[in-house]
A and B are shown apart, each in its own frame.
Chain A
Amino acid sequence: MAAKRRIRVTINGQIYEHEVEPRLLLIDYLRDVAGLLGTHYGCDTTSCGACTIIVDGRSAKSCTRFAVQADGQEILTVEGLACDGRLHPIQEAFWEHHALQCGFCTSGMLMSAYFLLSKNPNPTDADIKQGLAGNLCRCTGYLPIVAAVRSAAEKLTTKGRKP
């Protein structure tokens, strides 16, 4: 019905070009067009954060953005965290601290943690909780995730690297 628009998006360092309907949500673009299934649908009221990704360096809920708005932007999804198959320190920390059970909210949590640590490399526990407050989890009770992010901050500081 509506005219398609051509968009050009960089995702995890790779350029994607497609024609999309304006109403296509960014999360559906990532999952169904770009084939990146790690970002998940958890709700329909922008509440759960399972769909969190990084757009131009800022955390975003990919369910609350149209793909056409992402034209020209740089996106990082969970698939872009690991390097050559090696887990990112944030992923390592989640693994060590049992910060995931069913794993469905995990990609969103990882990206929110990534954003937090990119802005605040030495967060207090209160900062960490604020940084995770936009992500819902029903399995872990959150405390292991907070511990994982704390540990990730230490790992990154020790390695002297940014997230």
Chain B
Amino acid sequence: MYPRAFEYFAVGTVREASELLAHYADEARVLAGGQSLIPLMKLRLANPSHIIDIGNILGLDYVEEVDGALHVGALATHAAVLEFADVREGWPLMADAVSVIGDHQVRNWGTVGGALAEADPAGDWGAVILALKARIRCASSRGERWLAAADFFADAYTTQLATDELITEIVFRAPKRSSAGAYLKLERRAGDFAVVSVGVQLSLTEAGLCEEASIALAAAGLTPIYAEEAASFLAGKELRSDVIDEAARRVAAATQPLSDIRGSEDYKRAAAQALFKQAVEVAVRRSRGVTVEAAHGR
């Protein structure tokens, strides 16, 4: 409950933060909303001797639509994303996921960039960026680069960010017509980490053919998982029940869940299949213009 002592820097620019990170390397951690980092520090599981508070950097907390694509500043809070009017319309998978991150207190202060940089295996944003094939802009005092979501996560709590790099923006492509998504999270109780969660984004033709599918999971392995085989299996097929069942099996096969207090490996794989099928159903209905509330695994 009581963190160790640390030196504290409140910076005003990305450059400043990057230079400090380059200087202090492993001794430093970035503080954004603090909703992931501070709990770890209170339990003394993380003991950085230097904290770089980027919460005061201006101009990074936007959520805006640019030519149909959604641009989310790294310091945008989860709540700000949910409040952006078009999110539910254009990116329902994201809306589903963000609405079950923690609780309102956490959503008011936790940031999208902070959550992604934390790379918690159970982190919902990780599955969201994979399922929506987002791109992440990373900046340092040396310059800028873009990472594809698929290239972002390296391991549990580890990303491909360099020591002196920060996320500055995440871009989600404009939704295709007749495409929709859903994200379902199985929780032991409200506000909990996922037992397992599944995000499905589908594009369907008028004839009910699945043009493209994208499937990602959280709390299903050391990093968020993109179910490549299941997704490519669905592409170009009619969504008959045997097809969906086979896709579900491939989704489960793509996972490497850990047995823990929330469930055994086998249970989590089975739950992933069940959630996948439910998510497909919700996505199909939404692609047909029906408004559906996600009933997370209940």
> Do A and B bind?
yes
* Contact residue among B53, B102, B104, B191 (Cβ-Cβ distance under 8 Å from A112): B104
In-complex Cβ contact of A133 among B43, B79, B191 (8 A): B191
Interface size class of chain A, counting residues whose CB lies under 8 Å from the partner chain:
35 or more
List B contacts of A133 (CB < 8 A): 103-104, 190-191
CA distance A66 to B8 in the complex (A): 11
Query: Least Cβ distance of A18 to chain B in Å?
Result: 15
Q: Is A58 a contact of B4 with CB atoms below 8 Å?
A: no
Chain B residues whose C-beta falls within 8 Å of the C-beta of A102 in the assembled complex: none
Q: Which residue of A lies closest to B43 (CB)?
A: A44
- Number of B residues, CB within 8 Å of A: 30
Restricting to B1-22, which residues have a CB under 8 Å from any CB of A?
1-8, 10
Residues of B within 8 A of A44 (CB): 1, 42-43
Contacts of A59 in B (CB 8 A): 104-105, 108
The interface bits of chain B over 218-244 (1 if a CB of A lies within 8 angstroms of the residue's CB, else 0) are 000000000000000000000000000
- Residues from chain B with a CB closer than 8 A to the CB of A5 are 8
Q: Given A44-B43, A58-B79, A134-B191, verify A2-B103 contact (CB < 8 Å).
A: no
Please give 6 more A-B residue pairs, beta carbons under 8 A apart, in addition to A44-B1, A52-B105, A134-B102: A23-B3, A25-B42, A44-B43, A63-B42, A66-B8, A112-B104
Residues of B within 8 A of A (CB): 1-8, 10, 31, 34-35, 38-39, 41-43, 51, 53, 55, 79, 102-106, 108-109, 190-191
Q: Which residues of A contact B (CB under 8 A)?
A: 1-3, 5, 21-23, 25, 41, 44-47, 49, 52, 55, 58-61, 63-66, 68-69, 71, 112, 115-116, 130-131, 133-135
Q: Can you name 14 A-B pairs with beta carbons within 8 Å? A: A5-B8, A22-B51, A41-B1, A45-B39, A46-B38, A47-B191, A49-B105, A58-B108, A64-B109, A66-B8, A133-B190, A134-B103, A134-B191, A135-B103
